[in-house]
Amino acid sequence: MTTKPDMIEFRNVQKYYGDYHALRGINATIKAGEFFSLLGPSGCGKTTLLRTIAGFEGISSGVVLVDGKDMANVPPNKRPTNMVFQSYAIFPHLSVEQNVGFGLRKDPRSREEKARAVGQALEMVGLAGYGARSAHALSGGQRQRVALARALILKPKVLLLDEPLSALDKKIREQMQLELIKLQREVGITFVLVTHDQEEALVMSDRIAVMFEGNIAQLDDPETLYRLPKTRQVANFIGTMNFLPATILSEAGGRAEVEAPGLGRLEVDVEKQISSAPATGKTTIGFRPETVTMLYDGQGSADRESMGTVAEVVYYGDMTYYDVTLDGCADPIRMSMRNVFGRPVLDIGTRCRVGWSPGAMVMFR
Amino acid sequence: MKFPVLRTYTVLYLLFLYIPILILPIFAFNNSTTAAFPLKGFTTQWFGRVFTDPALGEALKNSLIVAGSTAFFSTLLGILAARATTRYSFKGQAPLSGLIMLPMVLPEMIMAMALLVVLLSLGIPLSLFTIILGDVLICTPFAVAILTSAFQSLDKSLEEAAQDLGEGPFSTFYLVILPLVAPGIISAMLICFTIAIDEFIIANFLGSGEKLLSTYIFGQLRFPKNVPNIMALGTVLVCVSIALLATAEFFRRRGLARTGAKDTGGFL
């Protein structure tokens, strides 16, 4: 991974719409051949950032480099990037093959060679034989494939995807996610995906930039992002995380001893975290619902145990979600338990033992 | 049973609107020089006379020149205005669009007189050209209205997609935008043509004695023996107008279907 050259680089990219500060100093690099996602809630600037790569959005200051070249005065039609639009932007007056071959108009190859390239592109996206069809008669999933073929036929250095799956229903979306990953591995082109769906980003990406309010809050691979979110905002946006207020008692050698109600004293690793705060004071401990377990009598064990009371039960079939109020805590924590045959679902009000491990705890400053 | 007030009103209203137009063909085929009941018998002689009248031929030719040019220039101006207001937002956009649409509601008589005064004081001789000028003024708002809806239903990302695939602004316009708004353009031209071909006030004020269809018909009505000819001519014009409007609507709807947009109401 680290040996790959940079394909896209943002250097302090700023974008204003009038008074509105849409991009607030973006610094990031996207590597060649990477599946990169821009993830964030609507209005966070992710689409604007993607459009600065394509050239549809000018930037107020900063530099956008694609393959080492400054894109400042390069219009969209001269950039080595191609885009799959959210609405797919299939030309409704053209057939499927005319759509796919649209970008080949200035290509010096012969008519037959271009037709063959169109055929190959359609085959690649699983639409072989659809060439003569009228574009506006296609289903959503098929339009998406046409848009992909139309962009990939030009062999761009970077393929930009603006929420390409958001208009599809759940089944087709999940299928397309896997197909896109496969396709990206086959063609080896750098993919930059914009999405507001955290699950989609985790499933598909090599690395993810989580954006809030025009800033990149965290840029990491999916696992790091999920396990070690740097801020509470990131932690909340990606999956569910429990937060407990805590006090730092001491900090030394990259480890801190903290005390949290419901958990007692524990040691957490702080080296993984951005540490600029003082060594003592108030902090927050966070952990994912699946890192804590319900300990049934005579079953299971854990590093540490806490007592609590079941406050809410949500049954999902394969899983049960419990909200448990730990003794000494005001707010309940959420935990998810896989349902195993023979293990009863607890009722609200049941006293229970909750097992956890200090290693799974993350500290937020 | 209750008396169906609304239903009766609707029927009477429609009869009042369309009976005069229905009477037109009836008298056009009536074998009598006076337009009155009872009918005398069936004839097509009035149609024959109309089509052999050299003055009418001249008037028809002039009207076609005027209506054709008006349709062309109004639509051209309409394309520019519609593109500007739908694609860009600029200062003074709303008042500007208002000013463009204003001739639609201004009394034509006033506009015609005002234009006449200006043209005369500028020393521009009255001709078919000045009639075309006046007609373009009153037809452009219609073209703008139709074309704005055509440009609005155009997804902006289609343009971006064309650029993304290597096309510059001009090739994007003729490869993507033009084909998609073509039905709107045809529709606008047909509507403008229909308005201009029977335009009387402008033709009367801004012409210098050239006969157009409208002024020709007005002149003929003064001679009672020519009334059946006018009835026949009127019948032909009604049929042509309906055909033109239907064609315009057909293209408008096909345009909507092509871009997959929703129908928000048209002229028919």
pLDDT < 50 positions in chain A: 1, 275
Q: Give the minimum alpha-carbon distance from B177 to chain A in angstroms, rounded to a whole number.
A: 10
Picking from A77, A151, A154, the nearest residue to B163 by CB comes out as A77
Mean pLDDT check: name the lowest of A271-280, B128-137, B175-184: A271-280
Mean pLDDT check: name the lowest of A237-246, A269-278, B50-59, B131-140: A269-278
Note the pLDDT of residue A272. Answer: 57
CB distance A83–B160 less than 8 Å? Answer: yes
**Which of B158, B159, B160, B164 to mutate to probe the A interface, most A CBs <10 Å?**
B164
Q: Is A111 on the interface with B (CB under 8 A)?
A: no
| Chain B residues closer than 8 Å to A82 by CB | 164-165
Nearest chain A residue (CA) to B158: A89
pLDDT for B49 beyond 90: no
User: If pLDDT is split at 50, 70 and 90, which confidence band does B46 have?
Assistant: confident
Question: CATH second-level architecture of A240-365?
Answer: Beta Barrel (2.40)
Integer Cα distance of A29 and A313 in angstroms: 44
**Which of A79, A85, A157 to mutate to probe the B interface, most B CBs <10 Å?**
A85
What is the mean pLDDT of the segment spanning B74-98? 90
**What tens digit of pLDDT does each residue of A72-90 get?**
999 999 999 999 999 999 9
User: If pLDDT is split at 50, 70 and 90, which confidence band does B263 have?
Assistant: low
Q: Is B158 on the interface with A (CB under 8 A)?
A: yes
What is the mean pLDDT of the segment spanning B147-169? 91
Instruction: Tell how far CA A237 is from the center of its chain.
Output: 10
**What tens digit of pLDDT does each residue of A148-183 get?**
999 999 999 999 999 998 888 888 889 889 999 999
Picking from B165, B168, B176, the nearest residue to A103 by CB comes out as B165
CATH classification of A6-234 is 3.10.180.10, yes or no?
A: no
Note the pLDDT of residue A278. Answer: 53
CB distance B165–A82 less than 8 Å? Answer: yes
Note the pLDDT of residue B163. Answer: 94
Note the pLDDT of residue B226. Answer: 79
User: If pLDDT is split at 50, 70 and 90, which confidence band does B261 have?
Assistant: low
pLDDT for B35 beyond 80: no
* B240 vs A335: which has the higher pLDDT: A335
Instruction: Tell how far CA B265 is from the center of its chain.
Output: 18
Q: Is B162 on the interface with A (CB under 8 A)?
A: yes
Q: Is B178 on the interface with A (CB under 8 A)?
A: no
Note the pLDDT of residue A13. Answer: 95
Q: Is B167 on the interface with A (CB under 8 A)?
A: yes
Q: Calculate the CA dihedral of residues A274, A279, A282, A286 and round it to 10 degrees.
A: 40
A93 neighbors B258 (Cβ within 8 angstroms): yes
Note the pLDDT of residue A275. Answer: 47
The DSSP letter of residue A233 is H
Strands A242-252 and A255-260: antiparallel
User: If pLDDT is split at 50, 70 and 90, which confidence band does B253 have?
Assistant: confident
B180 neighbors B158 (Cβ within 8 angstroms): yes
Integer Cα distance of A344 and B189 in angstroms: 76
CB distance A76–B260 less than 8 Å? Answer: no
Integer Cα distance of A299 and A321 in angstroms: 19
Q: Give the minimum alpha-carbon distance from B146 to chain A in angstroms, rounded to a whole number.
A: 20
pLDDT for B266 beyond 70: no
**Which of B154, B155, B156, B165 to mutate to probe the A interface, most A CBs <10 Å?**
B165
Distances (CA, A) of B54 to B57, B60, B77, B216, B261: 5, 10, 35, 12, 48
Cβ–Cβ pairs < 8 A, chains A and B: 61
CATH number for the domain formed by residue range(s) B57-259: 1.10.3720.10
Domain ranges of chain A: 6-234, 240-365
Nearest to B52 by CA among B217, B216, B229: B229
| Chain B residues closer than 8 Å to A93 by CB | 179-180, 258
Q: Give the minimum alpha-carbon distance from A215 to chain B in angstroms, rounded to a whole number.
A: 26
Please list, in sequence order, all residues whose beta carbon lies within 8 angstroms of the beta carbon of residue B118, skipping any fewer than 6 positions away: none
CB distance A56–B160 less than 8 Å? Answer: yes
Note the pLDDT of residue A279. Answer: 54
